[in-house]
Amino acid sequence: MPSIQLTFPDWLIIFLYFAFVLGIGMYLKKYTKSQEDFFLAGRKNSFWVAGLAFLSANLGALELLGMTGNTFRYGMYVAHFYWIGAVPAMLFLGIYMMPFYYSGRINSVPGYLKLRFDEKTRVLNGIAFGVMTLLVSGINLYAMALVLHTFLGWNWDISIWISAVTVAAYVTFSGLMSAIFTEIIQFFLIWFGLFLVSILGIIEIGSVQEIFNRVPESYSALWSTSADPSLNGMMVTWGGIVIGLGFVLSFGYWTTDFLVVQRAFSAKDLNSARMTPIVASFFKMAVPFIVIIAGLVALVLSKDPNSGFALLVDGGQVNYDSALPLLIARYYPNGLIGLGVTALLAGFMAGQAGNISAFNTVWTYDIYRSVINKKATDEHLLWMGRAATIVGIIISVVTAYWAKSFPSIMDYMQAIFSWVNAPLFATMLLGMFVRWITPNGAFWGLLAGMISSFTLFLAVKFSWIEQSMITFSNVTSDMAANLWRAWWAWLICFVVTIVISLFTERKPDAELTGLVKGFTPISLKKDVPVYKKPEFYAVISGIIFILLNIYFW
């Protein structure tokens, strides 16, 4: 199998990157003196730092290799994951949910569940989130190893351990603080290292319009083919996109997934915490100009017999994830290839660091201190957080081999999110906005949602039921099943929580202060200019979001 031929400058860039991120972790270790420094970066960050880290933690394997490859397969439909599948939820988090999270100075999303409901609900979510995080971590390690092995010719097993050891080292040194600082660096490295691929692709083909002219009509449309699933590659209707992705999966991920929300927790004050996801939304809308354009460029080139471009074939199966690295090999000269490869690795390490720093926080606070050692000292919790990082990385190596066995990273990710985040969003929504939701209602509703989602996954996978029973369409696809299964998990959790809450004991109103709308005094800055308010930037972001969807209709 061919590999990218690296020169000395390429190797030097890659070596310097790994040395630099390890150096950052070692340098910041002296500033990590307490458990709050390790788990919450001392709550000292500006909204720019927190916002870029917020997005960078999300820029992992799925957004780079996975989404570029899936654009090759599905076209513009992949942009839904960046626009309707992200922006509305990010704005809702900043405007409405962050005051609840930040006002109580909680350490994690499960920590909120304990305060709002009870210990058993917190532990249930903590365990589910921990398992989900380690499964997703495996994807990032697998993708890093895929680059090192497939495109650089390194041994697969050695590649994955090199990736794992590097992430473990710099997160263990100083926890979230080192993760955030390296994520900022990785954010700019990703943009500088990969945006050039799209630019050079546009130059070779002629223009963006020429790219759209040379792909099938369904590949250049965003909404116009969504009424009939047979007209788009994902085989998904607008209902699945709006309800399954735009509402349940999107809000479930961006508002409840501790991996990204933790970055907002690191902000220095409430206003900065609210601005964090809003600032990140602008950059999130721009990411498709890397991955979507690159995927369409690869598609156009592959259809041109004179281009000499073709995706790698592994075991008789097309490797769609090879699109972006092969474009790097095509366009970048010697010396610059090292920058492109390093940008890919930076993206994977950013996602992996985010997963591991979130895992060690939830394990330490919401499982270990909550259930195993309730009298743990600050120093002991700091030690436990570092130990959890090492254990989490080791388990991630195992899940990386499992991720390798799945045909599509994208389908795998959405399946995992539908098991955990979809029902959790129903629990969080009811908990924050409905005061009479009870602890027992929340626990049994969340459990019912998780079990129903996983059961539906198995039922469709092993043909116990027809997929059309949950997707309302005779045209079937794994992605359609994922989106609709998330909706059913959310709905079941929502209904069960309400029904059980009607017959079980509520918490006293006095215990809901800072946790439920109407019981939460929000200390916002008074008499600040309009242009400094989070709502102002949220409106601008919303307008850009609407215009993008109309333009690419």
Q: How far apart are the first and last CA of the chain?
A: 40
Spatial contact of 413 and 136, defined as CB atoms under 8 Å apart? yes
> SS3 for 182?
helix
Give the residue carrying structure tokens 């991120």.
Answer: 21
Quick one: DSSP state of residue 528? -
Quick one: DSSP state of residue 324? H
Q: What's the CA gap between 296 and 286, in Å, rounded?
A: 16
Q: Check if CATH label 1.20.1730.10 holds for domain 8-551.
A: yes
Q: What is the pLDDT of residue 417?
A: 78
Name the nearest CA neighbour of 482 among 550, 541, 410: 410
Structure tokens at 241: 């996109």
Name the nearest CA neighbour of 1 among 313, 308, 282, 362: 313
Q: What's the CA gap between 110 and 254, in Å, rounded?
A: 15
Q: What is the pLDDT of residue 41?
A: 43
Q: What is the pLDDT of residues 333-370, one digit of tens each?
A: 776 777 777 777 776 766 666 677 777 777 877 777 77
**Beta pairing partners, 317:** 314
Q: What is the pLDDT of residues 180-236, one digit of tens each?
A: 666 666 667 777 777 788 888 888 888 888 888 888 877 777 888 777 777 776 777
The pTM of this model reads 0.76
Spatial contact of 484 and 494, defined as CB atoms under 8 Å apart? no
Q: What is the pLDDT of residues 286-306, one digit of tens each?
A: 888 888 888 888 888 888 777
Spatial contact of 121 and 370, defined as CB atoms under 8 Å apart? no
**Beta pairing partners, 314:** 317
Confidence at 37, pLDDT banded by 50, 70, 90: very low
Quick one: DSSP state of residue 217? G
> What distances in angstroms separate CA 167 from CA 230, 279, 389, 429, one per listed residue?
42, 26, 9, 34
> What distances in angstroms separate CA 78 from CA 234, 245, 368, one per listed residue?
9, 11, 39
Spatial contact of 446 and 427, defined as CB atoms under 8 Å apart? yes
Q: What's the CA gap between 296 and 68, in Å, rounded?
A: 8
Q: What is the pLDDT of residues 69-124, one digit of tens each?
A: 778 878 788 888 888 888 998 898 888 877 777 665 555 677 778 888 888 888 88
